[in-house]
Structure 1
Amino acid sequence: MAPQESIVADTIATSKPKSLIDTIAVSKSQMAIDTIPVSKSQPLNIVHSNADIKEISLPIMNLQDDPYLADIDRRWMELVKRSEAYETDDFYPDNQYYGTATDGLTTEVLKARLEALNAKTPFNVEYNPILEDLIKRFLRSRTKVVAAMMAKSKYYFPIFEEKLDLYDVPLEMKYLAIVESALQPKARSRAGATGLWQFMYHTGKMYKLDVSSYVDERMDPIAASEAAARHLADLHDMFDDWDLALAAYNSGAGNVNKAIRRAGGKRNYWNIRPYLPRETASYVPIFYATLYMFEYGQEHAIFPDESMTLNHYETDSIYIRKTITFDQIEKATGIDAGLLELLNPSYKLNIIPKVEGKNYYLVLPREYIGIFAQNEPLIYAYVESENAKREKPLPENLKVNPDAITYRVRNGDYLGKIARRYGVSVRSIMRWNNLRSTKLRIGQRLKIYSRKAAASKSKSKSKSKSKSKGKKSSSKGKKTYYTVRSGDTLWEISKKFRNVSVSDLKRWNNLRSNRLKVGTRLKIVN
């Protein structure tokens, strides 16, 4: 089939320093891969099918970066690591013993430290018995949580500081994200507040945070941090006081205004505190306690949890030119799926869409960015090949396969999730089951007609036969258990154990998502 037009592709990595320019032929309806020269060290398996499109199989981690450009990236990273802007040794010193958490923290010592904090920040950090009690409670029970937050802050704080500085908001406001979400970008409150900065839907819309079926920018660390900085700057413009801006961030400007009226016009936070909602009355003291824990953590032997070692400067982003799934990115580059989700939390369905007028980007460790950028034409050709293999909806007059399966709806299921599992469309499932809406109920039975469904049914017998063997073989490995702590993610937990991946943790513990509950015991098979 003769191509209608041709597009000159970007650089495709080979073992040579110079890049190769390859031509990808495109027909009106679908893409056909003509010739993609690659080096001997980079085999590419092209399988010709009966259809116009050709299937492309990418070996995981077989893509290569341009050696010259990769060397520039390496030298740049060395320069950045030496830069004072990213020097964290003073903030995160080597672990030393300074005694127990509350040793030496007398009221006089605390007053002196709070006075020092007050001198270097625009907040009214003053001694108060309520604040002293809260700080000492944190020191007795929250040191492990603070250590985890210190480790995560290496990645998130540079993002926060850049956006806060852009709108002249005190850099200490970065600690507010710890109070709001414990640095969990997918955190969601019972009221629906979402993300690192816990934006409600309508407040997020006010600050241009897009929420769609694919994307929730309230969970995007960069977009949400800029929105939070703008919101805090607006609140400060209203009250001309950062303590009151903090209170208004939590309860709304209206509640702070009412508290000022009830306090007879007084504007000091501690004077209006009795008239604020109960949650807000604790909000500012918790912020100050968090500020103290970070600024004086070393004096209390609190150090970052070494299991989280990712620094912000070790990552970079690249704009996406075509819709691509996390699964396709993982297969093309070999990046760990858990790390991919950690760095790109705003994509709700693990799909990065290409939408007219929107620029969605992918965040990756720098070593993967070079590989992705160098091999974009090849990766997108692979995506086209994968998309072409999706099963099309059955024609209305076609008699369906009688061997279809019956799927029982479970907690957390929705039509899109079930459709992806079996490689069919939502519309097809609705038609096969005479559904008038996408709402499902737990226990509902759905008929699924697809190749995957038939294959899973035919394999079920062989799986059941080998199940006992699998159990015997898996039981030979030594098992240990890990108890989930606040702030843990599957990716972070997997890095605590040798040769353990996120997929392993999910398989061993029958997990269907990456969500974890504090206190859950996870089985680890060595």
Structure 2
Amino acid sequence: MIKRSRFVGSISGITFLLIGMAFIPAKAQVKKDSPKKSLLAKLGTKETPTVVLKEANVVYPDLLCGNEEQSLDYIEKFSTNRRDYLIRTYNKGKKFFPKVAAILSKHHLPHEFKVLLALESAFNGNAVSRAGAVGYWQIMDEVAKEYGLKYAPQLSAAEKKRELKLAKTLAKKGNKKVKKVIVKDDRKNFNKSTYTAARYLKDRCRNLDNDYLLVVASYNCGVGNVWEAMKKTGKTNPTFWDVKSYLPAETRSYVMNFIALNVVFNNYEKFASNTLNFKPITAKADNFEENMTEEMGEPTSLNNK
């Protein structure tokens, strides 16, 4: 009986002690907690929390707003891998882009189309593609004819061979002075070719219900191929993102590069100073502990490990 009484007494004492602890002020209980633990308590303890160190600050041009997620990764990678190209193109474009934008404006077209000049010829009026496209805007013979430009027809390899053979034959017969007819090619003239490109783009806008990314695609592969890709989607009004997989690989890259150039040039100062963030820069809270603010008396740089 005496042992039992002592046992009951012990239980009563423990119960009293626990009840008393419940009334200890919360302030007294956390006195020993470190600043780190306090911060982590605010962030939550169920999962390792993520802390946003820098917010995304990229600003899309109005023309390209609405589908940022589809292009963000591509642009970020492009801006890293093609940095030198972007800087060169931006600097060269200072001479050409304002003039192109003014002509586009006269045709009620978005100024973002101006970067097509860089993608087409890299501002080289004498550029000639393997397909026979010529000049600043890489206009084909048939398009030049359709829009009333003077042009020197681009000969195929077989035609060049026949022309050379004819010249040799005439030379053997004594016609040493074979007069070569030089045809002026308006595609190499900046103003004439740019006005023609603007008219062409305006026509494609009518053909494609002013879906500007589809218009850009058509400049690369032709409106017929874009229409065919649109049919394959089975949708009534497909967008570029719907038809993308049905377009030639070159055209897909062409449109994505068009987007990348416009986004980078729209944020050029941040890009040039390496402060352009395409996505929020985050860190896990367990790593963040090592980078507390000076208020905590610890290093603030994320590079200090």
Report the TM-score when normalising by structure 2. Answer: 0.58
Which letter does structure 2 place at the counterpart of 1:151?
A: N
| Matched-pair contact (CA < 8 Å) for 1:179–1:287 | yes
Q: Hey, what does 1:128 align to over in structure 2?
A: 69
Which letter does structure 1 place at the counterpart of 2:103?
A: K
Correspondent of 2:77 among 133, 137, 157: 137
| Matched-pair contact (CA < 8 Å) for 2:115–2:261 | yes
Q: Helix, strand or coil: the match of 1:128? A: helix
| Matched-pair contact (CA < 8 Å) for 2:79–2:86 | no
Q: In structure 2, how many angstroms separate the alpha carbons of the residues matched to 1:173 and 1:105?
A: 35
Q: Hey, what does 2:244 align to over in structure 1?
A: 273
Q: In structure 1, how many angstroms separate the alpha carbons of the residues matched to 2:101 and 2:259?
A: 18
Q: In structure 2, how many angstroms separate the alpha carbons of the residues matched to 1:301 and 1:202?
A: 41
Which letter does structure 1 place at the counterpart of 2:215?
A: A
Q: Structure 2: which 5+ runs fail to align?
A: 1-51, 153-181, 275-305
Map 1:137-216 to 2 at 5 A: 137-212=77-152, 213-216=182-185
Provide Cα deviations, 1:105-127, integer angstroms capped at 9, x if missing partner. Answer: 98x727x623xx2xx33x45522
Q: In structure 2, how many angstroms separate the alpha carbons of the residues matched to 1:216 and 1:285?
A: 31
Deviation, structure 1 residue 206: 1.3
Q: Hey, what does 2:202 align to over in structure 1?
A: 233
Provide Cα deviations, 1:172-230, integer angstroms capped at 9, x if missing partner. Answer: 11011112122222222111112221111111221122114242211111111000100
Q: In structure 2, how many angstroms separate the alpha carbons of the residues matched to 1:250 and 1:175?
A: 13
Q: In structure 1, how many angstroms separate the alpha carbons of the residues matched to 2:53 and 2:223?
A: 36
Deviation, structure 1 residue 237: 0.6
Q: In structure 1, how many angstroms separate the alpha carbons of the residues matched to 2:269 and 2:128?
A: 31
Correspondent of 1:284 among 230, 247, 255: 255
Q: In structure 2, how many angstroms separate the alpha carbons of the residues matched to 1:269 and 1:157?
A: 25
Deviation, structure 1 residue 290: 0.6
The answer to which structure has the higher strand fraction is: 1
Map 1:404-443 to 2 at 5 A: none
- Is residue 190 of structure 2 the alignment partner of residue 249 of structure 1? no
> Aligned in 2, Cα 1:286/1:302: closer, same or farther, shift over 3 Å?
farther
Q: In structure 2, how many angstroms separate the alpha carbons of the residues matched to 1:249 and 1:167?
A: 17
Q: Structure 1: which 5+ runs fail to align?
A: 1-103, 304-526
Which letter does structure 1 place at the counterpart of 2:67?
A: E
Q: In structure 2, how many angstroms separate the alpha carbons of the residues matched to 1:105 and 1:253?
A: 46
The answer to which structure has the higher helix fraction is: 2
> Aligned in 2, Cα 1:126/1:196: closer, same or farther, shift over 3 Å?
same
Report the TM-score when normalising by structure 1. Answer: 0.34
Q: In structure 1, how many angstroms separate the alpha carbons of the residues matched to 2:84 and 2:232?
A: 40
Deviation, structure 1 residue 302: 6.4
Name the count of aligned residue pairs: 192
> Aligned in 2, Cα 1:105/1:250: closer, same or farther, shift over 3 Å?
farther
Q: Hey, what does 1:294 align to over in structure 2?
A: 265
Q: In structure 2, how many angstroms separate the alpha carbons of the residues matched to 1:205 and 1:187?
A: 18
Q: In structure 1, how many angstroms separate the alpha carbons of the residues matched to 2:268 and 2:254?
A: 20
Q: Hey, what does 1:367 align to over in structure 2?
A: none
Q: Hey, what does 1:109 align to over in structure 2?
A: 56
| Matched-pair contact (CA < 8 Å) for 2:59–2:266 | no
Q: In structure 1, how many angstroms separate the alpha carbons of the residues matched to 2:66 and 2:190?
A: 28
Q: Helix, strand or coil: the match of 1:284? A: helix
Q: In structure 2, how many angstroms separate the alpha carbons of the residues matched to 1:186 and 1:141?
A: 28
| Matched-pair contact (CA < 8 Å) for 1:211–1:217 | yes
| Matched-pair contact (CA < 8 Å) for 1:146–1:302 | no
Provide Cα deviations, 1:35-64, integer angstroms capped at 9, x if missing partner. Answer: xxxxxxxxxxxxxxxxxxxxxxxxxxxxxx
Q: Helix, strand or coil: the match of 1:186? A: coil
| Matched-pair contact (CA < 8 Å) for 2:116–2:258 | yes
Q: In structure 2, how many angstroms separate the alpha carbons of the residues matched to 1:234 and 1:105?
A: 47
Q: Which has the higher contact order (CA 8 A, sep 6+)?
A: 2
Deviation, structure 1 residue 267: 1.5
Q: In structure 2, how many angstroms separate the alpha carbons of the residues matched to 1:293 and 1:126?
A: 16
Q: In structure 1, how many angstroms separate the alpha carbons of the residues matched to 2:53 and 2:265?
A: 15
Q: Percent identity?
A: 33
> Aligned in 2, Cα 1:247/1:124: closer, same or farther, shift over 3 Å?
farther
Q: In structure 1, how many angstroms separate the alpha carbons of the residues matched to 2:149 and 2:194?
A: 10
